[in-house]
Amino acid sequence: MKEQKEICSICEGDFDLDGEGGIVGDLGVLPVAFCPFCLSGVTDLAEQLMEGEEMDIELARYIASYVNEELERNNSIDRNTIMYAVDAFNGGAR
Ligand SMILES: [Zn+2]
């Protein structure tokens, strides 16, 4: 049996999508993968920043494409990146 490991776009750790969870998507030019820890961190933080509003799929897509753009510029991804993405979403997309 072959194990397929995904590489997390945020922490660059590998994870087993089937065994551990997380999410893999094709948004923008690059595929994005979030390991279970980063995925829950991203959704928790986004919910906090949205002041209790449920994180919706539009915001999730926005964050993913924001992360993609940062990766294309070879910028590192950390929690601030997600905060900037949420701020930009709140400020610009409404
Ligand atoms: Zn991760």
Give 10-residue mean pLDDT values along the chain (94 residues).
80 93 81 90 81 71 87 84 85 58
Q: Would the CA dihedral through 20, 26, 28, 30 be positive or negative?
A: positive
Query: pTM score, two decimals?
Result: 0.52
CA 52 – ligand 1 centroid, Å: 23
| pLDDT for res 57 | 77
Compute, in angstroms, the gap from residue 48 CA to the centroid of ligand 1.
19
What is the reported pLDDT for 2? Answer: 56
Please provide residue 12's backbone torsions phi and psi, each rounded to the nearest 5 degrees: 65, 15
**Which helix (H) or strand (E) element contains residue 33?**
strand 31-34
Where are the domains positioned within the chain? 5-89
List the beta strands (DSSP E) in the chain. 6-7, 14-15, 23-26, 31-34
C-alpha 50/C-alpha 83 separation (Å) is 10
Sequence letter at residue 75: N
pLDDT given for residue 22 in this prediction: 92
Position 93 scores a pLDDT of 47
What pLDDT shows up at residue 55? 64
Question: Ligand 1 centroid vs 69 CA: distance in angstroms?
Answer: 17
Ion ligand 1, residue ranges at CB < 5 A: 8, 10-11, 35, 38
